[in-house]
Structure 1
């Protein structure tokens, strides 16, 4: 990493840490389960605020709920008729789960009854002409929802609903000539406790933005990421997600995928300016290209899911990881888990 640079806040270049002052450690694979005997890809991983359960969006258009502590399946059910494009837990009610899909719907599921209790869609062109949803989010009070679509009849749309009534409020169109895809956005606290945004782009780059910034204050290219992870082929390097850490830093999950190996790593960016890499962690035992991750910062527990359908539970393998819940995980996972769970 010697000589690698990122753009600073004042437009200057700040040198990143060199190999001499980057801490190297590892995450240990504590447990792992395959979601099915059939080949299913885990596309999305999302955890409850309580940290008790994670929801998975699967490639067979279904949703599955797993207990974080023992990786037992709580429930699974069919959710859509086409590819699931996002999964989000309600911030107000942990029993409610949102999912969006290319079938043209955003659904709200009650996990207690495993039923859809609300559905958002644009059927203004007819019930068989729904616009394919490629990204979705809701307001902080969950009263309103918005979604971007893939191209539909030569145009892409941004749609808005009142979630309380499932009523379509309107949308924008004739402003996009390509699919509206949401880069992976993540909010974190920056200097002076202001909120900043990390963005993982479709070109496998990491950008850090201030809310009122005209350009990213830090920008890690795919080449930069490969250098941090010491990957020999840039084109095989990919980014998965970014997560908040208890010390205010960011944990970035990244991988290397080839026919010969599937590597997974994490690196930490530290305050105050988030431009310095302070640690790089290896994850020995990864078997797949990872598509989604969820991180419990308090207990330093990470869950990943990916192309081969494995849900993997990782913990920091060092003396600093002394969280009570982590000790519980280690006690409960002393024996080797089953390689799969039956439907």
Structure 2
């Protein structure tokens, strides 16, 4: 019996509370359908979509290899599905399945491809492990877990987030608060060893760690304490490593790196209250700031209490767009707005046919494909609508898993 079939038949996972269970609070567009079509000039439809689980699992994490030919999907059950994405058709096909941990209390806290290729993948789980898999082989190839040092206060056995650096050499894990301390723990991937910890720069749960996409030594971290810290991880001493600190005066939910028109590094932040802020990482200046009602109005919706800011993505021309939706009518509304050079929000795209409250997203700027996952366990590939586009029907398919994790020998 395959891992997937065994999982589906034997798993007895408790159903997670869902935003979709909540009673909808009234909401509507602020303009007519004709005005919407005129303002959101890009129209997207599902190119392909599938349900990743027979259980009620959330999609909590998405990652793609550099060529955007393979996509990893991390679930709330701690299982991971890996799909091949056809470059021409935008269709998903099953490639591999990594089963969940034995404990029902463990969830995914991130999935990341280790390097430029599509074979090596890191899977972080809330029980404190980051596991390395080679998808050409069976079983995990390495496991990273904190080892206590006498010089450092006790570190929790769980992690909340992780990332790897640009050359795939270092993994950094963030923890929740434990005995009034929070930690950034570093591992050397090649030598399979722990390198050290930072433990003084945050005062509450660490919610996001993001290495710079090109510079392997630069790391941004965000926390419930509202701070965004930028480090040079070449420095072993934490005080010397800390390059800059930004106070969002809120609680950080997720971070992303961008590059502005002046070729300067920008760090964007989505807060837990649905605000968007960005900062020039070197100068320390705030680049722009939009509160929850601002973005709600920009996607042409009335009720900010239903609003859900999902992600900030880089476009091919260097501009940034925000993907946003609402919890109204099980997440039916999904739209994007671009952040202009004048620091205003401009309607960009309308995504028609959304079936869930979206929690995570990926964007391929070259092909202009968006991939979303959310609370109904659906992975959707969105493409810009054209006369020859293919639209998936209302009936979702649960694709049959392959029994082997191997694609081909070396």
Cα distance between partner residues in 2 of 1:103 and 1:274 = 44
Name the SS of the counterpart of 2:293 in structure 1.
helix
SS in 1 for 2:278: strand
Match of 2:122 in 1: 98
1:316 counterpart = 2:337 = no
Task: Decide whether the 8 Å contact of 2:61 with 2:360 is kept in 1.
Answer: yes
**CA distance in structure 1 between the aligned counterparts of 2:313 and 2:72, rounded to whole angstroms:** 17
1:340 and 2:340 matched: no
Alpha carbons of structure 1 residues 23 and 333: separation in structure 2 relative to 1, 3 Å: closer
CA distance in 2, matches of 1:311, 1:50: 19
Match of 1:325 in 2: none
Asked if residue 142 in structure 1 is aligned to residue 168 in structure 2, the reply is yes
* 1:186 paired to 2:256: yes
Q: Judging changes above 3 Å, is the alpha-carbon distance between structure 1 residues 51 and 93 closer, same or farther for their aligned structure 2 residues? A: closer
The answer for the alignment partner of 1:293 in structure 2 is: 361
Which structure 1 residue ranges, 5 or more long, are not aligned? 1-18, 320-329
Aligned to 2:84: 67
What does 1:152-163 align with in structure 2 at a 5 Å threshold? 152-163=178-189
Question: Cα gap change, 1:89/1:233 in structure 2, threshold over 3 Å: closer, same or farther?
Answer: same
Counterparts of 2:291 and 2:323, CA distance in 1: 15
Residue 167 of structure 1 and its aligned partner are, at CA, apart by 1.5
- Runs of 5+ in structure 2 lacking a partner? 1-35, 150-154, 209-252, 402-410
Q: Relative to structure 2, which stretch is displaced further, 76-85 or 244-253?
A: 76-85
Distance 2:281 2:92 in 1: 37
Determine the structure 2 residue equivalent to 1:326: none
**Contact map agreement 1:32 1:337 (CA 8 A) in 2:** no
Aligned pair 1:78/2:95, yes or no? no
Cα deviation for residue 308 of structure 1 reads: 0.1
Q: Distance in 1 between matches of 2:94 and 2:342?
A: 37
CA RMSD of aligned residues (A): 2.8
Give, in whole Å, the separation in 2 of the partners of 1:67 and 1:263. 27
Contact 2:182/2:205, CA 8 A, preserved across alignment? yes
CA pair 336-308 structure 1, distance change in 2 beyond 3 A: closer
Change (3 A) 1:213 1:233: farther
Indicate if the aligned counterparts of 2:265 and 2:282 stay in contact, CA closer than 8 A: no
Aligned to 1:122: 146
Asked if the contact 2:45–2:351 (Cα under 8 Å) also holds between the matched residues in 1, the reply is: yes
Please say if residues 170 and 189 of structure 2, whose CA atoms lie closer than 8 Å, have aligned partners that are also in contact: yes
The answer to whether the 8 A contact 2:47-2:383 is kept is yes
Q: Is 1:246 the equivalent of 2:322?
A: no
Deviates most, 112-121 or 241-250: 112-121
TM-score by length of 1: 0.82
Match runs of 1:101-112 below 5 Å: 101-112=125-136
Aligned residues: 312
**Alignment match, 1:52:** 69
Give the SS at the match of 1:132: coil
Residue of 94, 111, 120 corresponding to 1:87 = 111
TM-score by length of 2: 0.69
More strand by share: 1
In structure 2, the CA distance between the partners of 1:36 and 1:342, relative to structure 1 (3 Å rule), is: farther
**Equivalent position SS for 1:72:** strand
Aligned pair in 2 of structure 1 residues 177, 244: CA closer, same or farther (>3 Å)? closer
1:204 deviates by 1.4
Give the Å deviation of 1:108: 1.4
Taking the aligned partners of 1:276 and 1:173, their CA distance within structure 2 comes to 37
Structure 2 match to 1:277:
345
User: 1:3 aligns to what?
Assistant: none
Contact in 2 for aligned 1:25/1:279 (Cα 8 Å): no
Which of 373, 383, 386 lines up with 1:305 in the alignment?
Answer: 373
Conservation of the 8 A alpha-carbon contact between 2:330 and 2:357: no
TM-aligned CA distance change 1:276 to 1:76, over 3 Å: same
Structure 1 residues 282, 309: closer, same or farther in 2, change over 3 A? same
